[in-house]
Amino acid sequence: MGLVKVKGMSCQHCVASTKKALEEIPGVTDVKVDLAKGEATYQGDVGSELLEKAIVGIGFEVEKG
């Protein structure tokens, strides 16, 4: 299971947008977004650059480290 920290989410619409953006990446499945923790988990073996591009593309930031 992969994990990505997302900065900037503030509501359930943000959660839905993040989930949809990650699910559109080929090979990513079982996406779960936790608003309180500011993170998304997923199944799949994809590069972090694809995840970051999808998240930045909808207006959020990826927290690194």
Using one digit for the tens of pLDDT, what is the confidence trace for 4-49? 999 999 999 999 999 999 999 999 999 999 999 999 999 999 999 9
Domain ranges of the chain: 2-63
Provide the whole-model pTM.
0.94
Q: How far apart are the first and last CA of the chain?
A: 17
CATH class of 2-63: alpha beta
d(CA 24, CA 29): 9
Contact 5, 41 (CB under 8 A): no
Antiparallel, parallel or unpaired: β 2-7 and 61-63: antiparallel
